[in-house]
Amino acid sequence: MASIIGCATTLRGRWRELQPDQRESFLALIADETTRLSTLIGDVLDTSRIEAGTFTYVYGDVDLGDLVRETAAMVALGHDEVTVRTSVKDPLPRVRGGRDRLRQLLPNLLTNAAKYTVVGDEIEVNAGSANGVVTVRVRDHGPGVPPEQQALVFEKFGRLIREASPSREPASASLSRARSPKRTAARSSSSPKLGRARRSP
C-alpha cells in the first residue's frame, strides 16, 4: 500500500516534470502492487471461508499431469533465477478433484519454493501414481525450516524468523491457505498424496 500511495503522490505532484518512461514505471508499479494486494485480499477471504467451512469445491476429472506441467512452466517463467525441473510419469491417470482449487494450491507451493530457495539452485516437481493414488512432490534445496519453527508453517499469518541466508527472502511465508485445499481439493488426506486416480472410460 505504501508503494501505491508513494507512486500516486509522485505522479500527481510531478507529472509534468517526469519523462514518459518514468511515468510508465510508476504506473506499472501501481498496477503490480494493486494486483498483489488483490491476491492477498483473496487469500485472506479464502482462509476465512476455509475456517468457516464455506469454502466451495466443484469436483470433476482432472488431468493432474497437465496441471503440474502448466504450473511448473508458469513458475519457471516468473523465477528465472532458479531452475524448475519437472518429472511427470506418464500415463498419469485422472483424479477426481476440484481443478480450480488445485490451480490455487500448486502455484502456492511452487511459488513459495521458488521465492525462498537459494539463487541458482533448483526446484524438483515430481508427479506419479501407484496403487491407484496420484502423488505430487515439490522439493527445493533452500535453507529449510528450523525444527522449532515448523509449527508456524501452517499458521494463518505465520512467518519464519531466520538468520541471513543466500536466499532472496529473510523468511518463509505461511502455507496456511494451501493446507485445507491440500486435504480436500482432490479428496486426499494430509499426506502429499493428492487423491485416488479415476480412469476415464
The conformation of residue 57, written as its DSSP 8-state character, comes to: -
Residue type, 131: N
CATH homologous superfamily, domain 59-196: Histidine kinase-like ATPase, C-terminal domain (3.30.565.10)
Cβ-based burial of 185 (10 A; exposed 0-12, middle 13-18, buried ≥19)? buried
Model confidence pTM above 0.95: no
**Domain extent listing, the chain:** 2-52, 59-196
- Asked whether residue 81 carries a pLDDT value surpassing 50, the answer given is yes
Least-confidence region, from 12-16, 50-54, 69-73, 193-197: 193-197
| Strand 193-196, strand 133-140: pairing | antiparallel
